[in-house]
Amino acid sequence: MNKFLIAIKKSFRNFGLRVSIQDKILFSRHLAVMAKAGLPLLESLQMIQRETKSRSMLKILKQVISDVSNGQFLSASLERYKDLFGDLFVNIIRVGESAGILAENLNYLADELKKKKELRSRVVSALIYPAIIFIATLGITIMLMVFIFPKIVPVFQNLNAKLPATTQFLIDFSDFLTNKGVVLLIGLVVLFVIWSLLLKVNKIKYFYHKILLFLPIFGGVSRDLNLANFTRTLGLTLKSGIRVVEALNITAQSLSSLVYKKELMQIAEEVTKGGAVSPYLTKRQRLFPSMVSQMVAVGETSGNLSETLLYLSDFYDSEVTETTKNLASTLEPLIMVVMGAMVGFIAIAIITPIYEITQNI
C-alpha cells in the first residue's frame, strides 16, 4: 500500500513535465564540457539553466540546483525525476560521481542518446511516406463514397434493373457511411481508447510486443531495433563501471519491449546464480541471433564484454539503417496494389451496370 501511495505521489509530482531525448543530450553534453573545464557543479548547472528553453527542464533544474546547493549529489537529486530521465541516465551519473569520471560518463551518455535519437528518427522517417500514401488513399476512397457516389446512385435506382453484387455492396456501404458515418467514427475512437487501455495491462502488452517481433517486414526491424538498444545500453553501463547484474537490470528497465525486458531480467537472475550471459542467449536464438551469443561469449572470455556489446550495437544500428532505407521501396508497391484494387473495385462497380444496360438497348 505504501509503495502504491509513493508511486501516486511521484506521478503527481512530475505531472506535466516532459524531458525529450534532445534535452537529455544537451544537458549531458554541456555539463560534460563544463566538468572537464573544471567548473564547479553548481555553477555549471546555473549556466545550463540560463541557456535552457524547455519549461520542464527549467523547473527540474531549479530543484536540482536547490538540492546540489544543499549538499546533495547530482544523481540523488535526479533520482526524483527517474521516471523522466530513466534508470540508465541516473545510474551512469551516479557511477561517474563516485568514480570521479563524471565528465567522461556524461560524454558517453550524450553520444549514446544521440545514436538512439538518430536510430528512432530513421525508423519514423521510413514509415512517414507509406503512412501518408495509405491515409491519402483511404481519404480519397471515403470522399468518393460519401460525396460522389451518392449522386450516381439515383441513376441506378431509376433503371429498375438488377444491379451486380459489387454495385449493390457499394451502394449499401455508401448509405452506411453517409447515414451512420458519425457512429462509425465514434466507434473507432472508442476502440482506440479501449486498445490504449488494454495496452496498459502487462500481459496484453507483452503478447502485443511478441506479435510485433514476428510480423513480416516489421518483425525484423523491431528485433534489430531492440538488439541495438539492448547492446548499446548494456555496453555503456558496463563501460561506466556498473556490475553485470545491476547493468542487466538497468538495461531491462530502459527497453520499451516487454519481451526483451523479461529476457534480460531472467539473464540477470542466471548471472546472480553464477551463470554467464552467453549460454542463456544461445537458448533464445529467435530473439538473440547466434552472432549475438557468440560475440558475447568472446567478450566474456576476453574480459572485454563492454566493447563487444558496443560493436554489436553499431552493427545492428547499420542493419536498422539499411532495412529502413529499403522499407519505403518495399511497402510502396504493396500500397499501390491496395490503392489500385480499391479504385478498381469502385470503377468496376460503377461501370458494370452501365455497360450491361447499354448492351440491352
Q: Using pLDDT thresholds of 50, 70 and 90, give the confidence band for residue 15.
A: low
Residue 182: band (very low, low, confident or very high) from pLDDT cuts 50, 70, 90: confident
Most confident by average pLDDT, 54-68, 220-234, 315-329: 54-68
Q: What does the angle CA 273 – CA 276 – CA 281 come to, to the nearest 5 degrees?
A: 115
CA dist 269 and 166 (Å) reads 60
Chain segment 204-242, per-residue pLDDT in tens? 989 989 998 888 777 888 898 889 888 988 888 888 788
CB atoms within 10 A of CB 209: 20
Q: What is the pTM of this model?
A: 0.70
328 φ, ψ to 5°? -60, -45
pLDDT value for 84: 85
Q: Is 89 exposed, middle or buried (0-12, 13-18, 19+ CB in 10 A)?
A: buried
List domains and CATH numbers for the chain: 2-85 (no CATH), 114-361 (1.20.81.30)
